[in-house]
Amino acid sequence: MKPVLTESSAGIYCPPGGFYIDPRRRVPTAIVTHAHMDHFRPGGQEDYCSSSSVGLMRLRLRGKPKVTGIEFGRRLEFGEVTVSFHPAGHILGSSQVRVESGGQVWVVSGDYKRGEDPSCEPFEVVPCDTFVTEATFARSAAAWRPGAEVIAEISEWWRENRRAKKVSVLYCYVLGKLQRILAGLSALDAGREVYIHRDAELYNECYRRAGFQLAPTRVVPRKLNGLSLEGALVLAPPKYLQSSWYRRFGDTVTAFASGWMALEDPCKFGYEKGFALSDHADWSELVRTIEETGARSIVTCHGDASELDAYLRSQGYSVSSLPRA
């Protein structure tokens, strides 16, 4: 039986359909799971993604990209191959890609999580024969607490810093994590305005347009011109962890929100505090998801999956890489 998906130098390739999934190089036809930069390349002829990813993709692709949005669950034909998008629960519009050909069903997970997230569509289990799963945190030590609990801690940290007249500067990825925090805070600190780095502004608009409720935000001006940020919460991407950028706010406290904060010391990265908030599946979510798909053939990618691969083999799964194109 011919493989439905293969590994090529440009990424995952579907020979009978003639398309790539999350290509690493510029390709004619790409199926894109989500708008994080490690999942697509600008400059191809045509990109397909979920409808709710289109706005984010347009922001990230240069020039006049041809981006086609497909509703979740709608079937698309590429020759004899049927493709559909299904929510992955990672960021707005993030998808798993279901590929059916010759009676076989393959699912490429993209990045995903199972934990509750008020800023994106929840993960959907898609039954399949072969499941190509991400493995960013495929180690048994990775175990997340519920996101709502962590965001409540962020809110409490902000409250304490506010009382001490300090500025809370919370670093996080600017697409996905930042909006998840804003969505969580909108329920906890209703109406309280959050300052954001300008890099986040257009992404926030995409989320609001898609109907997700975020806390009200204001962009930190390039020049403060006497504006006091005392007691404020500022969200910014990690590349602005430079004292020249945040010291001008006054008396600051810094923190980082990331899954890595469950496994590493925030001081190692230059932060005073860490909040363990991940948009990837932890060990138990990976194992549970693999079981729920019913797939017996598993391909792991993105990250060191040696511990997960060994565990799955011990459970009788067939674990392999994609065949070379």
Residue ranges binding Zn ion (CB under 5 A): 36, 38, 111
What is the nearest approach in angstroms of Zn ion to the Cβ of residue 243?
29
What is the nearest approach in angstroms of Zn ion to the Cβ of residue 204?
17
Residue 219 to residue 221: CA distance in whole angstroms = 6
Ramachandran class of 201: left when φ > 0, alpha when ψ lies in -120 to 50, beta otherwise? alpha
What is the nearest approach in angstroms of Zn ion to the Cβ of residue 38?
5
Name the residue among 259, 303, 257, 256 with its Cα closest to residue 278. Answer: 259
What is the nearest approach in angstroms of Zn ion to the Cβ of residue 182?
18
Residue closer to Zn ion, measured from CB, 36 or 180? 36
What is the nearest approach in angstroms of Zn ion to the Cβ of residue 280?
8
Provide φ and ψ at 306, rounded to 5°. Answer: -60, -40
> Whole-angstrom distance between the N-terminal and C-terminal Cα of the chain?
14
Residues 6 or more apart from 300 whose CB is under 8 A from it?
133, 134, 135, 138, 308, 309, 319
Q: Which ranges constitute the DSSP H helices of 143-246? A: 147-163, 177-188, 201-209, 243-246
Residues 6 or more apart from 228 whose CB is under 8 A from it?
250
Tokens linked to 60: 């990230």
Residue 167 to residue 297: CA distance in whole angstroms = 50
What is the nearest approach in angstroms of Zn ion to the Cβ of residue 196?
20
Quick check: 37 and 60 in contact, CB under 8 A?
A: yes
What is the nearest approach in angstroms of Zn ion to the Cβ of residue 113?
10
Residue closer to Zn ion, measured from CB, 129 or 199? 199
Residue closer to Zn ion, measured from CB, 44 or 93? 93
